[in-house]
Chain A
């Protein structure tokens, strides 16, 4: 049975976390890394879309009050608030892999979020994929995703609100257009991150008919992470860049 790499790699530095995601895409594109699934969390941060305006999306006063950092990601889409109660997931695949042969680019979200959806459902929550790029429970959003397509590789990453502080979320983001919920709110009880990860990985197996094996970043990937961190994600130029 086919094996994908599973990475449980997260840092307390949200800029470094973002550098890892882009490094994975670059490494799979260059064929120096296998197709990969990653789980990771950020500590208290607002993550904005690649071409969003910082001032328009984020209340900088509220970020300051709550000590939230602001990091710009390399994928498009809207701003999200993340704390350690939010589980990020990343799937990176070669484009010629059967799961990545999609009809139209929007198909990426539906296909790549299937294991996440299966995992949520296995926990007993009736979640639905909502086009183009969200997972909803009833009329509330629980996961949003974004994607980046290169010539040979494709990356889709998303959030999964587990027990995020929704009060801070509504303060730091302006304006919050969609109602949101968390897994814990829907379940009405506590749930461990480990259990959620297991459920999603089982979903991976049942949906794609393939296993994942825990792995680590290669030395080459670590070098790419360092370079991206130094030259891009940790720079004010990248994070505060203005778009017209």
Chain B
């Protein structure tokens, strides 16, 4: 028996509403065929059959509001018995957030149809919820004793006044004044986009960082030699090319987690983090693995110029499959960058600095850099991450392996 669940299509999505069943019970369904229509987060979407068979059981009717990841139907063989404990079938992949009632006890109290229901306006309920006010203790002054916004705000004030404040030592007391605001910067444009994206990443991805030291001596030598013959080529382009090559053989880092499926991208489109006066942006170098170092270098230059002039088109910002961010020029050694959704991994490059290392039991000084790979643990594990990093290291330490045709 296969469970049909309402997927979480957006981090903000908590529930979905069934608006139509496209199949009836015991009707044949093919894997991938839409079987029901759900509304959630202002969008309408179809849910497909996870398997071929017959729709053995529909658990919720049209109009039902369903928490995401709830099992709404079962697909099986014709006549296959339906498990008796349907109501407690738990989704396998994701942990459900606790039901709202547990988080918000005041709502539970007011919604319980016993013990005298407090009549309250939706706004009053929302405010009570935010401030943790028990509506059964609030006296309503609205029409027919309905609790309105003012009543809740009054209750908040009363509670604030009632909470005894511990006396504070004289010297500490002044510090409790709210800090004075020198300037207010609205969260808009690039800053706002960054805020939204990193929050999304923080709330969905399970990041793990692995780091590895790389001896950059050969790459630096190589860089000097190609600069002498080919002019100004970006060093970052060399690094990107190595990463793109390594991704060819470690494709799981060039993927996205889409519901219950890890989708490996066909193209390797590396997004490069660029610092601009407006904030960080990540334009994309399409098919990085198929481009020469010179082409990558030219692309980086063009994208950086456009970024500085705020002339990047949306197309140049979309479609990235993996991100590289280089904090080396800012003297950063090691850092754990935030994964750029919907991608599954990001590589941070630290500064190249001369360090004493031991080779063949001899202390030698070499230009070293630390790579930090942050990957989504839902998609893969530490060992594949280490193997991918080791491949990047191998290429960077022996540039002839990937730079045969610059």
Contacts and interface: CB of A to CB of B under 8 A. Distances in A.
Interface stretch (A30-38, A40-48, A100-108, A190-198): A100-108
Contacts of A103: 197, 200, 341-342
B315 A132 contact: no
Nearest to A149: B45
A147 B34 contact: no
Contacts of B314: 99, 111, 114, 207-209
B313 A76 contact: no
A76 B318 contact: no
A147 B9 CA distance: 13
A103 B282 CA distance: 15
Interface stretch (B35-43, B107-115, B355-363): B35-43
Contact of B43 (A114, A147, A151, A210): A147
Interface in A142-186: 146-151
Interface residues of B, number: 31
Given A103-B197, A151-B32, A75 B44 contact: yes
Given A101-B318, A105-B9, A106-B12, A76 B197 contact: no
Interface in A85-117: 98-99, 101, 103-109, 111, 114
Nearest to A77: B42
B48 interface: yes
Interface in B302-330: 313-316, 318-319
Given A51-B17, A101-B342, A208-B314, A147 B42 contact: yes
A106 B42 contact: yes
Given A75-B44, A105-B45, A50 B316 contact: no
B34 A149 contact: no
A105 to B, nearest CB: 4
Contact of B44 (A114, A148, A210): A148
B43 A148 contact: yes
Contacts of B39: 50-51, 76
Contacts of B11: 104
B306 to A, nearest CB: 11
A147 B44 contact: yes
Contacts of A50: 19, 37, 39, 44
A4 interface: no
Contacts of B12: 104, 106
B44 A76 contact: yes
Interface in B38-67: 39-46, 48, 62-63
Interface string B325-355: 0000000000000000110000000000000
B316 A151 contact: no
B42 A98 contact: no
Of B17, B37, B62, B314, chain A has the most CB atoms within 10 Å of the CB of: B314
Contacts of A208: 313-315
A218 interface: no
Contacts of A210: 315
A149 B10 contact: no
Contacts of B19: 50-51, 76, 243
A109 B44 CA distance: 12
Contacts of A6: none
Contacts of B34: 150-151
Nearest to B33: A151
A99 B317 CA distance: 10
B195 interface: no
A75 B45 CA distance: 9
B381 to A, nearest CB: 24
B63 A109 contact: no
A101 B40 CA distance: 19
Contacts of B123: none
Nearest to B319: A98
Contacts of A108: 43
A1 B341 CA distance: 27
A232 to B, nearest CB: 11
A146 B42 contact: yes
B5 to A, nearest CB: 16
Given A51-B19, A104-B9, A146 B44 contact: yes
Nearest to A131: B196
A54 B9 CA distance: 28
A231 interface: no
A243 B32 CA distance: 27
Nearest to A98: B319
Of B41, B48, B62, chain A has the most CB atoms within 10 Å of the CB of: B41
Of A77, A105, A107, chain B has the most CB atoms within 10 Å of the CB of: A105
A133 interface: yes
Contacts of A105: 9-10, 13, 40-41, 43, 45
Interface in B358-379: none
Contacts of B197: 103
Of B9, B10, B43, B200, chain A has the most CB atoms within 10 Å of the CB of: B43
Contacts of A132: 41-42
Nearest to A115: B314
A15 interface: no
B231 to A, nearest CB: 29
Given A75-B44, A132-B41, A148-B43, A104 B200 contact: yes
Given A111-B314, A147-B43, 16 more contacts: A76-B42, A77-B42, A98-B318, A103-B200, A103-B341, A104-B9, A105-B10, A106-B10, A106-B42, A107-B10, A148-B44, A149-B44, A150-B45, A151-B34, A207-B313, A209-B313
17 contacts: A50-B39, A51-B17, A51-B19, A51-B63, A76-B43, A99-B318, A103-B200, A105-B9, A105-B43, A106-B41, A107-B10, A108-B43, A150-B46, A151-B34, A208-B315, A243-B19, A244-B62
CB-based closest 4 A-B pairs: A104-B10, A98-B319, A244-B63, A209-B313
